[in-house]
Structure 1
Amino acid sequence: MLRSDVTREKLLTASLDVFGRYGFDGASTRKLADSAGVNLQAIPYYFGSKEGLYVATAEYLTSIIGEHVGELRQKIGARLVELDSRGEPLAETEARNFLTEIVQTMVVLFVSRQSESWARFLIREQMEPTEAFARVYEGVMRPMIEIGRRLIGAIIREDPGSEHVKLRTLSFVGSLLVFRMAHAAVLAQMEWEVIGQEQVEIVRSLAAELVAVLGPLEGHAA
């Protein structure tokens, strides 16, 4: 890796943590540079301004998450395109298998230490969305949620574009995000000191269980 690339990477890694902890206004350029261990002039040199660094940090976060789920997203997306081209529906069993694979991948990511800085950054953007949120949403959140809608729609036998399926999907995603957004509460309630390999396997089993119990609501009109 070139020295310039190393400097840029240091700034992006540090900025994800600093912006997440202090917000855009609270993160001074001095604090950002010191945290990255680089010269203050590196920010305007590589990103133009603090604003440019902030947006680049969102794109960096998108790429990191994409590295974890990109291959899976591509595989499922290709299968959906194949079925659509033949005018065939996605079978419930295949939809459940795909969804289980997604949620088990995501929940392991959510309980990992590396996702702490991601969560802080995204929580701030959820509260007061900026261009940074738009980058993350369009780059990774929207595509994953829309795949989730297709899979959940097939499982509960409803139109993936319906308001009900959208809400079911968002609610389902929320049941997984609790392991990151309410991490301290999870540890306290479960009386776990840390989430190690044993706890990860327990959480992965729960994720699969959440998929297994998904189904049409009795008396609900599709």
Structure 2
Amino acid sequence: MSKIENDQNTTRRDLTREKLLAASLDVFGRYGFDGASTRRLADAAGVNLQAIPYYFSGKEGLYIATADYLTDLISTHVGDMRQRVGARIAALDAAGEPMLPEEARGFLAEIAQTMIALFVSKKSESWARFIIREQMEPTEAFARVYQGIVRPMIEIARRLIGTILGEDPASEHVRLRAFSFIGSILVFRMAHAAVLAQMEWETAGPEEVETLRNLAAELVAALEPVKGGGA
């Protein structure tokens, strides 16, 4: 086999695998693991049924690979930002210097604005369905998504919020404040239909997204230290 033929076969294999993963993210999110038959998965991807055991050793392997695929997808949108903020925190820690609250607010606002724009986008629908199912009944797939995306973002948010509040990021109070803050962003995906109905928006277009980005900045600005110290 020539190098060109070999490269073409590799491209076809990669394309088939990509089709399966993209379709599976939607199908597993809609029907769950048990409700997503291999026939339904293959048909949604437009591939041969035997592609599932060939590429993923079965439906279980495809499910776990889909979780990794989701983690990679989200990382393409937030990975650079997460690394940049994490590098800044690490540099300050290495120098034994604290981050100033103003800088922490700037980073947190950037994160919140990026996430809120991502969550109202059409592409995040299938992501949300998959993650919500895993939140309700966690499997190894949840562990993959949590370790790859959720935990790092929560820990960065805790660090920034702790800096803003002047409290230990590991404290119970800061952990709860971080989840409360993140929840105020997630609601725009988890309650997407209710948000559109209440706001009387037909869709979340550029103008609506800009409104929500401004709201995200307001949510950060509203974070203030508790008078008399933390809880």
Taking structure 1 as the reference length, what is the TM-score of the superposition?
A: 0.98
- The question of 1:217 aligning with 2:221 is answered no
CA distance in 1: counterparts of 2:225 and 2:208, whole angstroms: 30
% of aligned pairs identical? 72
SS of the residue corresponding to residue 192 of structure 1 reads: coil
Q: 2:167 — aligned with what?
A: 158
Deviations 1:26-78 (A, max 9, x none): 00000000000000000000000100000000000000000100100111111
Q: 2:14 — aligned with what?
A: 5
Q: 2:75 — aligned with what?
A: 66
CA distance in 1: counterparts of 2:104 and 2:97, whole angstroms: 13
- The question of 1:15 aligning with 2:24 is answered yes
CA distance in 2: counterparts of 1:215 and 1:131, whole angstroms: 37
CA distance in 2: counterparts of 1:66 and 1:96, whole angstroms: 22
Asked if the contact 2:118–2:124 (Cα under 8 Å) also holds between the matched residues in 1, the reply is yes
CA distance in 2: counterparts of 1:187 and 1:85, whole angstroms: 45
State the shift of 1:219 in Å.
3.9
Deviations 1:154-186 (A, max 9, x none): 000000010110010011000000000000000
User: Which stretches of structure 1, 4 residues or longer, exceed 4 Å deviation after superposition?
Assistant: none
After superposition, residues 19-168 of structure 1 pair within 5 angstroms as: 19-168=28-177
CA distance in 1: counterparts of 2:81 and 2:181, whole angstroms: 19
State the shift of 1:216 in Å.
1.2
SS of the residue corresponding to residue 2 of structure 1 reads: helix
CA distance 1:131–1:108, change in 2 (3 Å):
same
Structure 1 letter corresponding to 2:85: I
Asked if the contact 2:134–2:142 (Cα under 8 Å) also holds between the matched residues in 1, the reply is yes
Asked if the contact 2:167–2:230 (Cα under 8 Å) also holds between the matched residues in 1, the reply is no
Gaps of 5+ in 1: none
Taking structure 2 as the reference length, what is the TM-score of the superposition?
A: 0.95
CA distance in 1: counterparts of 2:36 and 2:188, whole angstroms: 27
Structure 2 letter corresponding to 1:111: V
CA distance in 1: counterparts of 2:57 and 2:224, whole angstroms: 50
Gaps of 5+ in 2: 1-9
CA distance in 2: counterparts of 1:52 and 1:101, whole angstroms: 36
Q: What is the count of residue pairs matched by the alignment?
A: 222
